[in-house]
Amino acid sequence: MTRLLRQEIVEFSSVLVDAATGHPKSTFHKYVIPTENHVLSEYCKSYNGIKQKHVTRSKGAVTLSEALKMHQAWIYRGCGGGLNVSVVVTWGNWDCRTMLKQECFHKNLPIPDYFAQWINLKTPFADKYGNGYWRKPVKAALEATEVLEWEGAIKGGSSHARNKVRLLSLLIHQGANLAITSWLNPAAAPNN
Rounded mean pLDDT for each run of 10 residues along the chain, 192 residues in total: 73 93 94 93 86 91 98 91 80 94 96 94 94 88 95 89 96 95 85 64
Radius of gyration, CA atoms only, the chain: 17
**What letter would DSSP give residue 31?**
E
According to CATH, what is the number of the domain 11-188? 3.30.420.10
Predicted local confidence at residue 3, as pLDDT: 57
**What are the helix (H) ranges across the chain?**
42-48, 64-78, 101-106, 122-129, 138-144, 157-173
Q: List, as own/partner pairs, every contact residues 96-99 make where C-beta atoms lie below 8 angstroms and the sequence separation is at least 24, other chains included.
A: 96/182, 96/184, 97/182, 97/183, 97/184, 97/186, 99/7, 99/9
Give residue 106's identity as a one-letter amino acid code.
H
Q: How far apart are CA 163 and CA 145, in angstroms?
A: 13
Neighbours of 145 (CB within 10 A): 16
pLDDT at 123: 95
The model's pTM is: 0.90
| Residue 178 CA, distance from chain mean position | 16
